[in-house]
Amino acid sequence: MDHGLSKDEIRALFDEVSTRAAERGIRIEMFLVGGAAMALAYNTSRSTRDIDAIFEPKMLAYQIAAEVAAERGDLPEDWLNDAVKAFPMPDGTIDPAATVFYQDIGLVIRVASPRYLFAMKTWSARESDEDDLRILWPLCHFATSSEGLDYVEAAYPVGSLRPRSQYIVEQIASEFQELDCTSAQEVSRSKLGTWVSSHRRHGSPVSGHWRKRPKS
């Protein structure tokens, strides 16, 4: 599949997985993170190449995913994978703030909370994570960049944040400072203008940036 999976395509895949699981008399439980969680719950215009999740029963879920991929012919073999490493919160639980996003006879899916995803993406700090972090920031309700960074460091008690992670969070916090907004979509229509995601122009990489509104 050359293009990413959209929200509607992801839901259709989950419907298929649920049906096949129910036919076997079992129910798969899934905790969704990564790009799929973003596309389903927080940024519906986003797409993702694969679905990162923790799920049980694992082998049966993989078997069903392989069947779906083989029949469709346009999905990568690893379209559903559990390569992601979930981390426990300071109290030992794994994201108690996660919400049930999908519930069917053969499949139940919990989507990671904004703060959980924020911590994961801040820690990895890939270029592709920056746009997601801008979407998540106002949903996390951190008062300052320090509060956000403290949360991430508490969630990942082993090791220390890279300078790049700190820089990204501080930059995003400064962009949102003193703006009364509750979602990244609202910010894109506010003083900052429109957020342009990272892309390539004439073969060269262009970082994400705010495009100011034209003066009227």
* pLDDT, tens digit, 9 for 90 and up, residues 96-110: 899 999 999 999 999
Q: Based on the domain organization, do 136 and 58 belong to the same domain?
A: no
In this predicted structure, which of 75-79, 119-123, 130-134, 186-190 has the lowest mean pLDDT?
186-190
Domain count for the chain: 2
Residue 213: pLDDT band (50, 70, 90) is low
Identify the pLDDT of residue 26: 96
- Are residues 145 and 104 part of one domain? no
Check whether residue 152 and residue 61 sit in a common domain.
no
pLDDT at residue 155 in the model: 83
Residue numbers of the domain that contains 12: 7-112
Are 36 and 131 contained in the same domain?
A: no
H helical segments located in the chain: 7-23, 34-37, 58-72, 114-124, 127-140, 145-155, 163-176, 184-188
Percent of the chain with pLDDT over 70: 75
207 pLDDT band, cuts 50/70/90, is: low
Q: Is there a single domain that holds both residue 101 and residue 15?
A: yes
- pLDDT at site 182: 47
**Dist CA 81 CA 79 (whole Å):** 6
> Do 101 and 56 fall into the same domain?
yes
Question: Per the domain annotation, does 216 fall within a domain?
Answer: no
- Answer yes or no: do 107 and 153 share one domain: no
Q: Which band of pLDDT confidence, cut at 50, 70 and 90, is reported for residue 146? A: very high
Asked if pLDDT for residue 210 goes beyond 80, the answer is no
Which of 81, 112, 143 is the last residue in one of the domains? 112
Cβ-based neighbours of 184, under 8 Å, separated by 6 or more:
43, 134, 135, 136, 137, 138, 195
Please tell me whether residues 98 and 125 are part of one structural domain.
no
Q: Are residues 101 and 11 in the same domain?
A: yes
Whether the per-residue pLDDT at 178 is higher than 60: the answer is: no
Same-domain check for residues 133 and 206: yes
- Kindly state whether residues 34 and 61 are assigned to the same domain: yes
Task: Give the pLDDT confidence score for residue 188 in this predicted structure.
Answer: 52
> Are 95 and 134 within one domain?
no
pLDDT score for 181: 47
Residue 56 CB partners (closer than 8 Å, separation 6+) = 28, 29
Which of 112, 141, 168 is the last residue before a domain boundary?
Answer: 112
